[in-house]
Structure 1
């Protein structure tokens, strides 16, 4: 599976975090979720973390791969 790219985030003064994908707003995190996201993005691969938090990490072929005889 290709590594996700094109994600960025912007922490704001009011405590919210805005995640964007290729300059379009993907999601806004507030409160505890924003804090958890910031600690996780600092400790791991930032692009993968942002893809996971936005839900854009699945590309549609997971069901077919799961049903393949090699993966049973």
Structure 2
């Protein structure tokens, strides 16, 4: 199990990898995708890898959204 800032993942005995954000399940990976995820998470920054795999990462539009009239 890995936990740092927000994301964590857990490997199950059947090979499934469950990625959680806070206490909610963000992704459930099985088979080849789970193995690919584990290899990538172990070789780099796990938090960035989990954010990318779950789709929960910055999309580049934060500055534009900050200037939107709704957010003033």
Q: Say how many residue pairs are matched.
A: 61
Instruction: Give 4+ residue runs of structure 1 displaced > 6 Å after superposition.
Output: none
Structure 1 unmatched runs, 5+: 65-72
Describe the superposition over 1:2-53 as per-residue Cα deviations: whole angstroms up to 9, x where unpaired: xxx3000000001100000011100100000000000000000010000000
Structure 2 unmatched runs, 5+: 65-72
1:68 aligned residue: none
C-alpha RMSD of the superposition: 2.1
1:32 aligned residue: 32
C-alpha deviation, 1:61, in angstroms: 1.3
2:42 aligned residue: 42
Query: Comparing both chains, which one has the higher relative contact order based on Cα–Cα distances under 8 Å and sequence gaps of 6 or more?
Result: 1
> Which TM-score applies when normalising by structure 1?
0.75
